[in-house]
Structure 1
Amino acid sequence: MKKPAPAAPKRPANAPNEVRIIGGHWKRTILPVAKLPGLRPTPARVRETLFNWLGQDLQGLRCLDAFAGTGALGFEAASRGAAEVVLVEQDAGLLSALSRTKTKLTADTVRVERGDGVAALRQRAGQGLDVVFLDPPFADGQNDALVLSALAAARAAIGETGLIYLEAPRVWSADELAPIGLQVHRQGKAGQVAFHLLRLLPVP
């Protein structure tokens, strides 16, 4: 008797070389993930928590993703109606992938910009952005100086009710954030990822 052929292995719902937009107009759209050292897209469950915090409808909000990578955070925001999303990325290959995704989605509210994320934020000081996404390279956990620079620049770029999302390899405490003029609004941890939603400290 002929043995039945083994069943083909099921493809993972979120394969290592791709992530999916999880909500909004482009829900389930696949974003490619290049095989680059240090490229670490925000996990789906963390993105789901973040956008539960931000709200599912981001109509009218102006956002900037300072270390865009795959664009998972920025495209997620645009999918949920953000009026303007700037994706900043240095790597030429990732930049091309972001531009292809923008074209594929006809994402007219998204702008892809080549450059340094901190410098891009400094250029937007006083512009009153609504949401800034900060997911800098973890660099084996030694990225505190980069995080501090990015937080300071983001603080200057957001408006009074603006929010900053920070993803890092460790939790940032209230004592560390206060000198920058920021406080924790929400925070969580998933595996080796600590994530924070920050807002301005009230002026005394």
Structure 2
Amino acid sequence: MGTNQRLRSKQKQNNSQKDGQIRIISGQWRGRKLPVKDVLGLRPTTDRVKETVFNWLNMYLRDANCLDCFAGSGSLGLEALSRYASYVTLIEKDKVAAKQLEVNLATLKSSQAKVYQQDCLQFLDKVGDQGIDIAFVDPPFRQNLLADCCNKLEQNQWLKEDALIYVEKETELTTAQLPTNWELLKEKTAGQVTYQLFARQLT
């Protein structure tokens, strides 16, 4: 093996050692572990938080049309699919992370999801079809993405009249201007993360 080959092999090994995994908690793929690439800013929702969130959502998930706005590892979107959501749209800007999402969907043999490798805010700029039952909004922290994302969901007609919106944010972020017709149903804090469930009300 030449020097360049050894360096590439070592770099590949070091990168793979940094990669992680997510675990599906419940549903048809309960207990399955799926690989996650080590991508800057990627912050999979912890099992502890995810278990609480999906307890909140449990009665609404079956046959729901879901949108995972900053899909990242797919921890939220794939959990929704496992719990019998009818369809999940996953939006992820990073090319490597998006490719891993496609690989994981193929591993699960699921055709009930589509990955869009695109900037989420640009994706939401187009007018939706008011078809989303549940939206997951878990943007990278400290990049001022939360309010823009939520307001585009509302203003550009992505959400059904009675949609639910899950928001995960840094705890110190207390000034984000979310749509005024979103009613806060649930809220918890775990360390530096605050997570919330909103219900959309008609204006």
Tell me which interval the TM-score lies in, with the shorter structure as reference length.
0.7 to 0.9
Sort the Cα spacing of 1:119 and 1:21 in 2 relative to 1 into closer, same or farther, 3 A. same
Secondary structure of 1:42 counterpart:
coil
Give the one of 95, 98, 101 matched to 2:98: 95
Q: In the alignment, which residue of structure 1 is the partner of 2:149? A: 150
Q: CA deviation at 1:38?
A: 1.5
SS at match of 1:165: strand
- The secondary structure found in structure 1 opposite 2:71 is coil
Amino acid in the other structure paired with 2:151? A
| Residue ranges of structure 2 left out of the alignment (5+ in a row) | 1-17
Q: Where does the alignment leave 5 or more consecutive residues of structure 1 unmatched?
A: 1-14
Change (3 A) 1:171 1:55: farther
Task: Name the structure 2 match of 1:159.
Answer: 160
Secondary structure at 1:167 match in 2: strand
Q: Does the CA contact (< 8 Å) of 2:34 and 2:104 recur in 1?
A: yes
**What is the deviation of 1:29?**
1.1
Is 1:84 aligned with 2:84? no
User: Can you list the C-alpha shifts for 1:93-127, whole angstroms capped at 9, x where unaligned?
Assistant: 11111111011101111111111112323335342
How many angstroms apart in 1 are the aligned matches of 2:71 and 2:34? Answer: 12
Kept in 2: contact 1:24–1:80 (CA 8 A): yes
- From 116, 135, 148, the equivalent of 1:113 is 116
Calculate the TM-score normalised by the size of structure 2.
Answer: 0.82
Report the CA distance between 1:197 and its aligned residue.
Answer: 0.8
- What does residue range 115-194 of structure 1 map to in structure 2 within 5 Å? 115-138=118-141, 142-144=142-144, 146-155=145-154, 156-170=157-171, 176-177=177-178, 179=180, 181-194=181-194
Match of 2:38 among 35, 38, 55: 35
For residues 175 and 169 of structure 1, the distance between their equivalents in structure 2, rounded to whole angstroms, comes to: 11
C-alpha RMSD over aligned residues: 2.2
Contact 1:174 1:184 in 2 (8 A): no
The partner residue of 1:73 within 72, 76, 80 is 76
Correspondence for 1:61 among 60, 64, 69: 64
CA distance in 1, matches of 2:197, 2:93: 24
Distance in 1 (alpha carbons) for counterparts of 2:123 and 2:137: 12
Displacement of 1:82 in angstroms is 0.6
| Structure 2 equivalent of residue 5 of structure 1 | none
Q: Distance in 2 between matches of 1:84 and 1:124?
A: 19
Distance 1:163 1:173, change over 3 A: farther
The structural deviation recorded for 1:171 is 6.5
Residue 6 of structure 1 is matched in structure 2 by none
- The answer on whether the counterparts of 2:39 and 2:97 sit within 8 Å (CA) in structure 1 is no
- Once the 2 structures are TM-superposed, how far is the Cα of residue 172 of structure 1 from its aligned partner? 6.3
Q: Alignment partner of 1:177: what SS?
A: coil
How does the TM-score come out when normalised to structure 1? 0.82
Structure-2 change in CA distance of 1:177 and 1:183 (3 Å):
farther
